[in-house]
């Protein structure tokens, strides 16, 4: 007689009292399960990562002492293709966070219909406290440690918070040296001279802009003159702010780790970018007044772009928010409780797995170009990126209208269905 063995336990390596960002992701999967039809049979697959690797990263510092860092690489799901996702250097990185980020990569890749699974990596380190030479040694040792599970056909890292093209060059070189090859396709977001793609640096911010414009148009909002507030002014927030500014929007407030600045008539974003390049942050920018950090969330605005870290929009500030459209440039910036509060107020949220998918989309182009050793022009990249983002937005908006659900639930329905279809048709081994 057959017996039902359904397991709903958390993986034992997570602390049940502090599930962290993984708990947010699990809640999102719960919400989408009723819409998965017969594929719900496989949903447990999404609730546990396929592979979790925790590594010790020992390194000799410039002063001769030895330091140890904790590093991670998580492959959440590889049903539709090799793992894909960035590597983050941050003092608050935890296993739970890397697991959630890996899972969001699975959903993101499937939402845009890229032939990738989801993965993510990180090192628990504040990179501001280390020299370039130390960061190079840390990156190389970390790459060697995770070298047993990454590879151009297995799992392809990319930049994320506090990592960049130089980090990817070190990773590519280390992997290549260890394997006696020149494996340009092992990472994306590389320097152009190493097989990087034109347009990759801007891609995430450009995707935020493209999808944001589509959502604005669908909701009768003209970008010309629209007020925009941006949290995080790095690669994603800075680029998105510039593109909205160039399209005639008024960027009225920006917040980063150095402070919050405001100008009701609109900031000069090009000058602001220069100021940030020179001083390292937005604080003290010309023609702006400083605001207290929590005043940022209460500003009346048409578009709000959280482009920093997870959990920034939560029960503490969701009530205050007076934005018509939120475009999630960061991964996981809105907690499920805040999501409910905002949705019931009528705020439209364009979810991370769609809004910030421009980065991994151009990573996909980079990976394809590396394999064919044939490189496209920047115009070709941007045009293909726009086409893919528009298509993904239209299909998610279609699912949202069909089931009368939020764009986030719709993106999860489309993505989880694709992942679980692949899971089902591949079948269980053995
Ligand atoms: N780190 C980026 C993200 O969160 C890009 C990942 C990639 O290109 O693989 O989407």
CA distances 51 to 54, 103, 178, 346, Å, are 10, 11, 22, 39
Residue 185's SS3 state is helix
Taking CA atoms only, the protein residue closest to ligand 1 atom 8 is: 360
Regarding the beta carbon of 363 and ligand 1, being less than 6 Å apart is answered yes
Beta bridge pairs of residue 137: none
| Dihedral (CA of 249, 253, 256, 258) sign | positive
Ligand 1 geometric centre to CA of 1 (Å) = 46
Lookup: tokens for 317: 């500030």
Nearest to 105 by CA among 304, 326, 332, 313: 332
Domains, the chain, in order of start with CATH, read 50-181 (3.40.50.10860), 201-355 (3.40.50.720)
Residue 85 CA, closest ligand 1 atom number: 9
Q: Is 41 a catalytic residue?
A: no
Residue 363 CA, closest ligand 1 atom number: 8
| Among 25, 81, 85, 150, residue to substitute to test ligand 1 (most atoms within 8 Å of Cβ) | 85
Of these residues, 47, 108, 120, 250, which one is catalytic?
Answer: 120
Say if CB 386 and CB 228 are below 8 A apart. Answer: no
* pLDDT value at residue 2: 45
| Dihedral (CA of 382, 384, 385, 387) sign | positive
* SS3 sequence of 274-330: HHHHHHCCCCCCCCCEEECCCHHHHCEEEEEEECCCCCCECCCCCCCCEEEEEECCC
* pLDDT value at residue 18: 86
Nearest to 296 by CA among 265, 276, 322: 322
Regarding the beta carbon of 158 and ligand 1, being less than 6 Å apart is answered yes
Nearest to 426 by CA among 117, 159, 128, 122: 117
| Among 89, 159, 370, residue to substitute to test ligand 1 (most atoms within 8 Å of Cβ) | 159
Ligand 1 geometric centre to CA of 85 (Å) = 5
* pLDDT value at residue 1: 44
* pLDDT value at residue 7: 54
* pLDDT value at residue 5: 52
Ligand 1 geometric centre to CA of 77 (Å) = 15
Residue 71's SS3 state is strand
Q: What is the pTM of this model?
A: 0.96
Residue 364 CA, closest ligand 1 atom number: 8
Ligand 1 geometric centre to CA of 332 (Å) = 13
Regarding the beta carbon of 118 and ligand 1, being less than 6 Å apart is answered no
Residue 159 CA, closest ligand 1 atom number: 1
* pLDDT value at residue 251: 98
Regarding the beta carbon of 157 and ligand 1, being less than 6 Å apart is answered no
Distance of CA 189 to the CA centre of its chain: 14
Per-residue pLDDT of the chain (430 residues; tens, 9 = 90+): 445 554 567 899 998 888 999 999 999 999 999 999 999 999 999 999 999 999 999 999 999 999 999 999 999 999 999 999 999 999 999 999 999 999 999 999 999 999 999 999 999 999 999 999 999 999 999 999 999 999 999 999 999 999 999 999 999 999 999 999 999 999 999 999 999 999 999 999 999 999 999 999 999 999 999 999 999 999 999 999 999 999 999 999 999 999 999 999 999 999 999 999 999 999 999 999 999 999 999 999 999 999 999 999 999 999 999 999 999 999 999 999 999 999 999 999 999 999 999 999 999 999 999 999 999 999 999 999 999 999 999 999 999 999 999 999 999 999 999 999 999 999 999 9
Identify the residue whose tokens are 């920018």: 285
């Amino acid at each position: 007689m057959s017996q039902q063995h359904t397991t709903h336990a958390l993986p034992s390596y997570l602390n049940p009292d502090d599930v962290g960002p993984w708990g947010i992701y699990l809640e999102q999967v719960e919400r989408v399960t009723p819409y998965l039809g017969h594929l719900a049979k496989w949903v447990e697959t999404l609730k546990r990562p396929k592979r979790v690797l925790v590594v010790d990263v020992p390194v000799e510092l410039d002063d001769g002492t030895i330091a140890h860092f904790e590093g991670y690489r998580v492959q959440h799901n590889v049903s539709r293709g090799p793992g894909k996702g960035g590597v983050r250097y941050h003092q608050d990185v935890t296993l739970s966070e890397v697991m959630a980020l890996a899972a969001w990569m699975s959903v993101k890749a499937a939402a845009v219909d890229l032939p990738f699974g989801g993965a993510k990596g990180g090192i628990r380190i504040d990179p501001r406290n280390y020299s370039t030479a130390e960061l190079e040694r840390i990156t190389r040792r970390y790459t060697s440690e995770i070298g047993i599970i990454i590879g151009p056909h297995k799992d392809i890292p990319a930049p994320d918070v506090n990592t960049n093209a130089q980090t990817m060059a070190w990773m590519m070189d280390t992997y290549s040296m260890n394997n006696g090859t020149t494996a340009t396709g092992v990472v994306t977001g590389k320097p152009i001279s190493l097989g990087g793609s034109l347009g990759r640096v801007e891609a995430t911010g450009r995707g935020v802009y493209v999808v944001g414009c589509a959502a604005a148009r669908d909701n009768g909002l003209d970008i010309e003159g629209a007020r925009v507030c941006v949290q995080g002014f790095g690669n994603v927030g800075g680029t998105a702010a510039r593109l909205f500014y160039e399209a005639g929007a008024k960027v009225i407030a920006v917040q980063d780790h150095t402070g919050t600045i405001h100008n009701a008539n609109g900031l000069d974003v090009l000058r602001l970018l220069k100021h940030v390049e020179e001083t390292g942050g937005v604080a003290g920018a010309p023609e702006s007044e400083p605001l207290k950090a929590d005043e940022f969330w209460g500003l009346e605005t048409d578009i709000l772009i959280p482009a920093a870290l997870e959990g920034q929009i939560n029960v503490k500030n969701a009530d205050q928010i007076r934005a018509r459209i939120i475009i999630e440039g960061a991964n996981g910036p809105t907690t499920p409780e805040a999501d409910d509060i905002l949705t019931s107020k009528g705020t439209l949220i364009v979810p991370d797995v769609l809004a910030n998918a421009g980065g991994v989309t151009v990573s996909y182009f980079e990976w394809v170009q590396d394999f064919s050793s044939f490189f496209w022009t920047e115009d070709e990249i941007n045009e293909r990126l726009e086409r893919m983002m528009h298509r993904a937005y239209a299909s998610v908006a279609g699912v949202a209208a069909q089931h009368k659900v939020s764009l986030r639930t719709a993106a999860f329905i489309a993505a989880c269905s694709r992942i679980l279809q692949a899971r089902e048709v591949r079948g269980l081994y053995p």
